[in-house]
Structure 1
Amino acid sequence: MTHPIEQIVRRKLSDEVFDRLERMITSGELQPGDEMPSERVLMERFGVGRPAIREAMQSLANKGLVNISHGERAKVLQLTAQSIFRQVDLTAKIMLSQSADSLEHLKSARIFFERGMAREAAQRTKQSDVDALRDIIDRQRRALGHAEEFIAADMHFHTRIAQISGNPIFVAVSEAMLAWLKEYHTEMLIWTGKEKLTLVEHEEILERLAANDADGAEAAVLKHLERSRALYTK
């Protein structure tokens, strides 16, 4: 019986160095905020040249594990849900630009997510949350006719609802989905009077949250997002 050839591919030195450095971070040997050892120390420790160290360090930076500043030692970053999603921002936007189906799937996922967020938030909404959301609506009203400001306030309204959950992963998911969708948010809504409808719907959502009405909040969010779904187009 003959076996297929299983060729062993030699790995690049920088890949080996990357694995060692990553292990130093995941094992806790290096903590968030710590400076990475100098290039010279790492060269001696791993018995490799400067190019392998630099390439591995750049890979760590690309993955959001360290921050490299010119003239300073690289620092280990504190990973958060936000920083992890930011790592995939560009690839997510490329995926969406290449496929109309992906954009529709994202819109559906966002509606599913926001319905759950509304229910979760309604059970926890305090007066301070109501005040914060009302301030955002007021800011949005003042931004009528200014597309960028209006849409920024619109996004803030939805991420602030996610914040009521107290779960930072929910907030990061909300911010990420809205950032990806923003690429396709046509500014036509500013010129068609739809922005006033958005304000009315935001008021309705806030009213239901303030009343701690989970069913009502979910229904208000669903109505709002199904109506505004058409505003996101390729």
Structure 2
Amino acid sequence: MQSEPIIRRKLSDEVFARLKALIETGELQPGDEMPSERMLMERFQVGRPAIREAMQALANMGLIEISHGERAKVLQPTARSLLRQVDAAAKIMLAASSDSLEHLKSARIFFERGMAREAASRADAGDIAALEETLKRQQAALEDSDAFIAADMAFHTRIAQISGNPIYTAVSEAMLGWLKEYHTEMLIWTGRENVTLTEHEEIIDCIRSGNPDEAEQAMIRHLERSRTLYAPKGR
């Protein structure tokens, strides 16, 4: 029989495990207020630091929301909240390796070509109108780089939303958010912004026509052309 050492857990780790179990079993439901610090201290017979550390760990996992002056509340986990938890780690990974940035660009193309196909198969008149409205916002932001890039991100996320799958939308938002850190100034003041607008208009036309193959190819051309607009900082 193999012997294994018994590892003593920190008090906060034990409190965290018990509170997490209350959420997992449904004893605490999304929208419920968490018990007060004093109630938890009495229930688990531990000090305030252990309670606060455990609560912060739950918040970091996206399981609860801590607001100053109010009771913490149990959250309904979503694809968006789960992906936000890896934001910091993803940005560190990208900053540490130019290869990671290239891999992310390739992953984005693989993902968005599928989103374009899905949009061409599913889009209705309301979806097309929403894409056209986003394009108008981008056209109006030609002299404002931040607004132009924000509209660009909204355009691609709106295509993912047509799928009706919130995981696709969350993945789109996450990848675009990570890439935003690496936008170069080549996007604006060089005429390339007009190329972007033309390509977006072509993508909308392909989605409107309901042709998945054409929509996919238009998206690939757009992203392959624009991938050079994202470069490691300092270059």
2:164 corresponds in structure 1 to 166
- Matching residue's letter, 1:101: D
1:149 corresponds in structure 2 to 147
Cα displacement (A) at 1:6: 4.0
Select 1:139's aligned residue among 133, 137, 140: 137
Select 1:189's aligned residue among 183, 187, 198: 187
For 1:113 and 1:223, locate their aligned partners in 2 and report how far apart those are by CA, in whole Å. 14
Written as runs of structure 1 = structure 2, the 5 A alignment for 1:14-163 is 14-163=12-161
- State percent identity of aligned pairs: 70
For 1:6 and 1:31, locate their aligned partners in 2 and report how far apart those are by CA, in whole Å. 36
Cα displacement (A) at 1:38: 1.4
Q: Which residues of structure 2 form unaligned runs of 5+?
A: none
Cα displacement (A) at 1:45: 2.0
For 2:136 and 2:47, locate their aligned partners in 1 and report how far apart those are by CA, in whole Å. 58
For 2:222 and 2:69, locate their aligned partners in 1 and report how far apart those are by CA, in whole Å. 50
For 1:233 and 1:212, locate their aligned partners in 2 and report how far apart those are by CA, in whole Å. 34
- Matching residue's letter, 1:152: A
Cα displacement (A) at 1:8: 2.7
Once the two structures are superposed, residues 184-234 of structure 1 have per-residue CA deviations (whole angstroms, 9 ceiling, x without a partner) of 011221021100000010011000000000000000000000000100000
Cα displacement (A) at 1:50: 2.1
For 2:66 and 2:123, locate their aligned partners in 1 and report how far apart those are by CA, in whole Å. 40
Cα displacement (A) at 1:71: 1.7
For 1:127 and 1:72, locate their aligned partners in 2 and report how far apart those are by CA, in whole Å. 43
- Matching residue's letter, 2:7: V
| TM-score between the two structures when normalised by the length of structure 2 | 0.95
Q: Which residues of structure 1 form unaligned runs of 5+?
A: none
Report SS of the residue matched to 1:144.
coil
Write out the 4+ residue segments of structure 1 that deviate beyond 6 Å after TM superposition. Answer: none
Once the two structures are superposed, residues 67-98 of structure 1 have per-residue CA deviations (whole angstroms, 9 ceiling, x without a partner) of 11122111111211111111111111111011
CA RMSD of aligned residues (A): 1.3
Cα displacement (A) at 1:11: 0.8
Report SS of the residue matched to 2:148.
helix
For 1:208 and 1:111, locate their aligned partners in 2 and report how far apart those are by CA, in whole Å. 17
Is 1:10 the counterpart of 2:8? The answer is: yes
- Matching residue's letter, 2:227: R
Cα displacement (A) at 1:20: 0.3
- Matching residue's letter, 2:70: E
1:222 corresponds in structure 2 to 220
- Larger mean CA deviation between 36-45 and 80-89 belongs to 36-45
Cα displacement (A) at 1:52: 1.3
- Matching residue's letter, 2:95: S
Cα displacement (A) at 1:40: 2.1
Written as runs of structure 1 = structure 2, the 5 A alignment for 1:193-212 is 193-212=191-210
Once the two structures are superposed, residues 7-27 of structure 1 have per-residue CA deviations (whole angstroms, 9 ceiling, x without a partner) of 332110110110000000111
- Matching residue's letter, 1:38: S
